Amino acid sequence: MTMNKQWIYASKPNAQVSPTNFSLQEAAMPQPKEGEVLVRTTLLSLDPASRAWMIGPTYRPMLNPGEVMAGWGIGEVVVSNARNFEPGDLVSGDYGWQQYAALPARTLTKHDKRHKPEHILGALGITGLTAYFGLLEVGRPRPGETVLVSGAAGAVGTIAGQIAKLMGCRVVGTTSSADKCKWLVSELGFDAAVDYKSGNLHKAIKEACPNGVDVYFDNTGGEVLAAALSRMNVWGRVACCGAISNYDTATPTPGPAGVPGLLVTKRIRMEGFIVSDFYNRKREADTALAKWVTEGKIKAAVDVVEGFDKMPSALAGMFAGQNRGKLMVRV
Amino acid sequence: MTMNKQWIYASKPNAQVSPTNFSLQEAAMPQPKEGEVLVRTTLLSLDPASRAWMIGPTYRPMLNPGEVMAGWGIGEVVVSNARNFEPGDLVSGDYGWQQYAALPARTLTKHDKRHKPEHILGALGITGLTAYFGLLEVGRPRPGETVLVSGAAGAVGTIAGQIAKLMGCRVVGTTSSADKCKWLVSELGFDAAVDYKSGNLHKAIKEACPNGVDVYFDNTGGEVLAAALSRMNVWGRVACCGAISNYDTATPTPGPAGVPGLLVTKRIRMEGFIVSDFYNRKREADTALAKWVTEGKIKAAVDVVEGFDKMPSALAGMFAGQNRGKLMVRV
């Protein structure tokens, strides 16, 4: 009988997450109940939010040591005890870090096989939707405005920046190395990029954004947020998507000193969002993203790590800034 | 010949503003040019923003030592070199701390004498408009929601809280003494009030807001903002009106640690505003405020200090939390 390998969330990270916080276990193959579907995992997504789930409640309850590590995945239906699903279907859902999962059919999404699974998990999935709604609905850029994106070489950042270019904006990204800066400009069409580790961040953002910042798409929080606020224009908007700078540390940076003073004098709107809040308009976004990716107007950058055994090290690597685009593991 | 007494902004405060930062001088009576009006000051407004003007640019350029201290006032036209104004008219404008001012007619507003000058400078003026637009347009409370107001016993706070009551909300205020807490509840109809100096602020806000906070009208920033954020509900809104906790100190509090993390997980919108941004709808607000004040639905609390010589000490007293309602000096 085939066993099911699982990565267990074994211990709470003290500071930075490491592979020692996870343990591999073999469990019995899960049995789908009525209304459930047994799926075989093909790809598992690694997301900054994974780290946040380990330390407290977010938009999902806190994970507790001993549980299968949570994570989004895509794979194939093996057994279906639910209407509308049959073996061979390509489905995504909240798989967890495991090779097989028995999941309620209502929590799964069936996908068109003409799209690559890597893209479904990235630009055509939650990642792309997050960038789409966060930029367009929360940030609301207008043509000619300057859009600054932090974590710009990451999954959401790469897409948010490219959508902003399609909207006719000047787009500047921040990332953690000179190499990734070059990549953002030469491969993804950003107008400029700033290595936030290279020295005077305020000065670098000022030079890259000579007309100030109208929309700041914030994936990081921390010092980039503080610097961005000081460079925002009157009526600026900050779309708060995440705070990766504070997820993987025991010593989070203090809040930005410009809050609330700069918000008042510059009339800045800072707004947090969760992608699912916009799912009443998911069809519109799915259609737009599929068109842009299919036509090559958005490059769906994916960074695929091979091997289920690499899950923990891939997660740690993400916080070390190793990935370019959407990070996932092929199981 | 009558002289014009003026308070000069003499020196930059090192930490807390004190009367020694101002000096009284006598100048010649100003002569209105063509298009200008000579006004005699009746009342001068004291505002938290006055302190901010002394340390940097805000929505107005920074004041420099040697200049007449800036401030809003109301008074009577003495000489008019402008159409539409004549001696005896009741007018308000950017008078500065002086007994007489020659001001361009286009910068003055003429008022109906059936309203008290104290109210025109407070609930019926910029103070009331700030509360009105900040609460209704930025905070957007719905009936049954909980509205928390910081600096609740101050000029804007007293009005914002009362408008929120009229909107059918549960209204809680924070202020700096048990006496002012009692006053907010017994005189102004707040549902509860919290003395932020009395100990465990987080706990006190939690007890006063058992259903969480939906709208936080922030006049203070600092530790009350941090505590409010931790108590905000999903979809909460923070109307950033001012940051009085940080105006009169050499050691401003760090930014709130919940930014941006809590904004994301709770989808909070934090938005700064300046009242003049909403002046395209000033007539609507003027009408509503006049109706509420005239009908006694809003108590226009005013705190009038007698004597032009008291200007500097009144300003310092405001930062010590001495006023209840709109602070002004009768010249």
Query: Residues A192-213: what's their mean pLDDT?
Result: 97
- Going from the C-alpha of A116 to that of each of A84, A294, A295, A300, the distances in angstroms are 21, 11, 14, 11
Q: How many helices (H) and strands (E) does chain B have?
A: 10, 15
Judged against a pLDDT cut of 70, whether residue B1 lies above it is answered with no
**Minimum distance, in Å, between the CA of residue B195 and any CA atom of chain A:** 21
| Averaged pLDDT score across all residues of chain A | 96
* Substitution target from A225, A259, A270, A273 for chain B, most B beta carbons within 10 A: A259
- pTM higher than 0.90 for the full model? yes
**Minimum distance, in Å, between the CA of residue B264 and any CA atom of chain A:** 4
**Minimum distance, in Å, between the CA of residue A218 and any CA atom of chain B:** 9
- pLDDT of res. A57: 85
A281 touches chain B (CB under 8 A): no
Q: Is A211 exposed, middle or buried (0-12, 13-18, 19+ CB in 10 A)?
A: exposed
CB under 8 Å to A302, separation ≥6 — which residues? A118, A119, A122, A325, A326, A328
| Averaged pLDDT score across all residues of chain B | 96
Q: Which of A252, A265, A274 sits opposite B58 (nearest CB)?
A: A265
Contact A254 B254 (CB under 8 A): yes
Q: Which of A57, A59, A240 sits opposite B260 (nearest CB)?
A: A240
Cβ–Cβ under 8 Å, residues B137 and B274: no
Cβ–Cβ under 8 Å, residues A168 and A189: no
* Substitution target from A225, A270, A273 for chain B, most B beta carbons within 10 A: A270
For the ranges A230-244, B44-58, B192-206, the lowest mean pLDDT is seen at: B44-58
**Minimum distance, in Å, between the CA of residue A100 and any CA atom of chain B:** 29
> Residue B286 phi/psi, 5° resolution?
-55, -45
DSSP state of B70: P
Contact B266 A257 (CB under 8 A): no
Query: Residues A112-125: what's their mean pLDDT?
Result: 95
Q: Which of A221, A262, A265 sits opposite B260 (nearest CB)?
A: A221
- pLDDT of res. B198: 93
- pLDDT of res. A176: 96
Alpha carbon distance B211, B233 (integer Å): 8
Q: Which of A243, A267, A277 sits opposite B273 (nearest CB)?
A: A267
A234 touches chain B (CB under 8 A): no
Query: Residues A254-278: what's their mean pLDDT?
Result: 95
Complete domains list, chain B, with CATH: 3-122+301-330 (3.90.180.10), 126-276 (3.40.50.720)
From chain A residues 24-63, the ones with a CB under 8 A of any chain B CB are 57-59
Helix (H, G, I), strand (E, B) or coil at A102: strand
- pLDDT of res. B60: 86
Query: Residues B75-100: what's their mean pLDDT?
Result: 97
Query: Residues B284-301: what's their mean pLDDT?
Result: 97
Judged against a pLDDT cut of 80, whether residue A283 lies above it is answered with yes
Q: Could you tell me which residues are beta bridge partners of residue A192?
A: A172
Rg of chain B over Cα atoms, rounded to whole angstroms, equals 20
Query: Residues A35-39: what's their mean pLDDT?
Result: 98
Contact A266 B272 (CB under 8 A): yes
